[in-house]
């Protein structure tokens, strides 16, 4: 018997479909195939391992594997299925996770040499344990920058990861190995994290989807950084699902989040009569024309589908927002990057504060050094400013169902690891801008604990993916995912990399 159409993902013995076709199917279709008995978990695992062997040497997306244990688990899950026992909605699905999460046989290194020799086994990170309890097979870990601390995934332990759409460019960071693995068909699902765009920027750079959930919805235990066994959860940081379709985000979210099962709101998968706010411009937050143009095309599609669109900005000063965000973010980063602090910083603080008044850019050594040494009183003041902005956004979302924002000023950037994050620059329509400009458009959802879904909206003339952030009301992640899925249906969603790249 021959293969069924690719959209059905029903396979039979003797099927001649290329392995990569199976790998690029959504997770929910792969689960359908498992549940229908069209293939076994052991077979599906081998399909993904074969794709890993085919493309990962060039990409360097997956940097650790535990194939022996994965194969044992796949066989055990197949036996359970044959006996009529199903662990959960991911029963038998192979997947990888970002190397900031502890997996019992693969402790997180976060790309840091100081964590390279952690003793095994470790306790599974909370979200990893939940995925396993739902039946997932965790067989590999994906690359990150040092301490998950920037927007390119490279480190001294494992090297750099490349973008499947253009090998001269980065897939983003810090969940860049995860996004590259998804885009290249190595894994159908991934678990990422985000404190400074680490779920959203990689999704934007590689044409996949991600959910930055409302702060606190997903447990952080077992995530590195902060240091292993850190007794608590970090402000701003969130854990979230990554996938190739929004439906798959819903699937993984349903097993990852705290408390409730993740049931949906019943919101119709349509944006007809929905009120959408679109904000894409600010004087000191430039966005490349090719990104702006693709956003305009997407917004026109939404209007054509019956959405009511308004080009409007929330009543928040963007530069004040960024200042509050950086003031909250940098002390957290400084916990695990002591180079941001110096022994004599307390003596330099008055001088740095004086100089800070005359610096036009927020992305300078002096500005970051002052914020790295933020006192508790300073933090309370910043948190009060944040609370005022949260109230503004609560009122904003009484009028609008969602807010559409750029993710980053440009599509995927070329590899550039010279100098520090603050020393590097990037080109936006030929004009030099601080490399840390990546923080601007992601700051709203991060600082104010709002959910944000990133979906692809098209490609540039050079074939690079571009995405948008869809931001929603705090706590209404399920409704936001429904809106995002409706938008994805209008725009076409994920498109696999070109085969003529010699990679896929």
Structure confidence at residue 500 as a pLDDT band (50, 70, 90): low
Ranking 105-109, 356-360, 497-501 by mean pLDDT, the lowest is 356-360
Of 3.40.50.800, 3.40.190.10, 1.20.140.10, 3.90.1300.10, the CATH number of 19-268+497-501 is 3.90.1300.10
User: Per DSSP, what are the bridge partners of residue 189?
Assistant: 243
Q: What is the pTM of this model?
A: 0.91
Where residue 360 falls among pLDDT bands split at 50, 70, 90?
Answer: low
Residue 263 has pLDDT above 50, yes or no: no
Q: Which of the pair, 348 or 143, is modelled with greater confidence? A: 143
Predicted local distance difference test score (pLDDT) of residue 92: 99
Helix (H) or strand (E) run with residue 481 in it = helix 477-491
- What is the predicted pLDDT for the residue at 258? 85
Q: Closest Cα to residue 322, out of 435, 201, 436? A: 436
Percent of the chain exceeding pLDDT 90 equals 80
Mean pLDDT of 439-446: 98
* C-alpha atoms less than 13 angstroms from C-alpha of 138 in its C-beta half-sphere: 25
Which residues are CB-neighbours of 83 under 8 A, at least 6 positions away? none
355: pLDDT strictly greater than 50: no
pLDDT greater than 80 at residue 1: no
pLDDT, residue 90, reads 99
- Model confidence at 257: pLDDT above 90: yes
Q: Could you give the 3-state DSSP secondary structure of residue 385? A: helix
Residue 159: φ, ψ to 5°:
80, -160
Write down the pLDDT at residue 347.
39
Mean pLDDT of 407-424: 94
Q: Which residues of 130-140 are buried (b: 16+ CB within 10 A; e: fewer)?
A: bbbebbbbbbb
- Both structure tokens of 79: 């036996």
Q: Write the class of the CATH domain 276-479.
A: alpha beta
E strand residue ranges, 357-451: 402-406, 425-428, 431-434
pLDDT tens readout for residues 62-93: 999 999 999 999 999 999 999 999 999 999 99
User: Using alpha carbons only, what angle is made at residue 144 by residues 142 and 148, rounded to the nearest 5 degrees?
Assistant: 135
- For 138, which DSSP code? E
Confidence of residue 368 (pLDDT cuts 50, 70, 90): low
Which pLDDT band, with edges at 50, 70 and 90, does 358 fall under?
Answer: very low
Q: How many other β-carbons are positioned within 10 Å of the β-carbon of residue 301?
A: 17
| Whole-number Å distance between alpha carbons of 38 and 49 | 19
Every domain range in the chain assigned CATH 3.90.1300.10: 19-268+497-501, 276-479
Smallest CA-to-CA distance from 205 within 382, 17, 459 is with 459
Place of tokens 């309890």: 133
Structure token pair of residue 345: 């910083």
Q: Is the pLDDT of residue 19 over 90?
A: no
Structure tokens at 461: 């003339």
The CA distance from 121 to 68, in Å, is 15
- Express as a percent the part of the chain with pLDDT over 70: 86
Across 6-20, 225-239, 414-428, least confident range: 6-20
Q: Do the Cβ atoms of 313 and 278 come closer than 8 Å?
A: no
In whole angstroms, what is the distance from residue 177 CA to residue 160 CA? 9
pLDDT of residue 45: 99
pLDDT in tens, 196-223: 999 999 999 999 999 999 999 999 999 9
More confident residue, 182 or 262: 182
Provide the phi-psi class of 77: left if phi over 0, else alpha when psi is between -120 and 50, else beta. alpha
């Amino acid at each position: 018997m021959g293969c069924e159409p690719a959209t059905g993902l029903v396979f039979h013995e003797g099927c001649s479909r290329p392995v990569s076709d199976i790998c690029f199917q959504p997770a929910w279709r792969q689960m359908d195939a498992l549940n229908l008995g069209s293939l076994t978990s052991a077979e599906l695992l081998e399909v993904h391992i074969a794709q890993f062997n085919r493309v990962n040497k060039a990409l360097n997306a997956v940097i650790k594997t535990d194939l022996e244990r994965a194969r044992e688990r796949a066989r055990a899950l197949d036996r359970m299925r044959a006996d009529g026992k199903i662990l959960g909605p991911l029963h038998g699905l192979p997947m990888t996770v970002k190397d900031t999460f502890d997996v019992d046989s693969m402790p997180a290194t976060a790309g840091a040499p100081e964590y390279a020799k952690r003793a095994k086994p470790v306790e599974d990170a909370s979200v990893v344990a939940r995925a396993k309890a739902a039946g997932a097979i965790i067989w590999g870990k994906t690359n990150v920058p040092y301490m998950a601390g920037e927007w390119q995934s490279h480190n001294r332990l494992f090297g750099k990861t490349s973008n499947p759409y253009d090998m001269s460019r980065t897939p983003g960071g810090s969940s860049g190995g995860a996004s590259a693995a998804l885009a290249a068909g190595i894994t159908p699902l991934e678990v990422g994290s985000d404190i400074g765009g680490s779920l959203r920027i990689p999704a934007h750079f590689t044409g996949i989807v991600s959910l930055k959930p409302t702060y606190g919805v997903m447990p952080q235990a077992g995530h590195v950084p902060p240091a292993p066994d850190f007794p608590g959860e970090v402000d701003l940081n969130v854990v979230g699902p990554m996938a190739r379709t929004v439906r798959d985000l819903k699937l993984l979210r349903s097993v990852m989040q705290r408390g409730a099962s993740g049931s949906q709101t019943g919101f119709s998968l349509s944006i007809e009569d929905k009120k959408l706010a679109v904000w894409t411009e600010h004087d000191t937050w430039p966005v490349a024309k090719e990104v702006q143009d693709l956003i305009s095309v997407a917004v026109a599609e939404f209007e054509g589908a019956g959405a009511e669109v308004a080009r409007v900005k929330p009543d928040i000063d963007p530069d004040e927002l960024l200042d509050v965000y950086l003031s909250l973010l940098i002390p957290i980063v400084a916990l695990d990057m002591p180079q941001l602090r110096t022994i004599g910083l307390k003596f330099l603080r008055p001088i740095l504060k004086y100089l800070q008044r005359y610096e036009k850019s927020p992305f300078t050594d002096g500005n970051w050094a002052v914020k790295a040494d933020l006192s508790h009183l300073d933090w309370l003041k910043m948190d009060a400013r944040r609370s005022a902005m949260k109230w503004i956004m609560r009122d904003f979302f009484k009028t609008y169902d969602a807010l559409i924002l750029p993710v980053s000023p440009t599509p995927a950037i070329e590899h550039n690891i010279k100098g520090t994050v603050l020393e590097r620059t990037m080109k936006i329509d030929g004009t030099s801008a601080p490399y840390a400009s990546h923080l601007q458009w992601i700051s709203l959802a991060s600082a104010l604990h709002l959910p944000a879904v990133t979906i692809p909206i098209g490609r540039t003339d050079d074939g690079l993916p571009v995405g948008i952030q869809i931001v929603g009301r705090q706590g209404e992640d399920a409704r936001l995912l429904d809106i995002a899925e409706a938008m994805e249906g209008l725009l076409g969603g994920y498109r696999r990399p070109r085969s003529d790249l010699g990679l896929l």
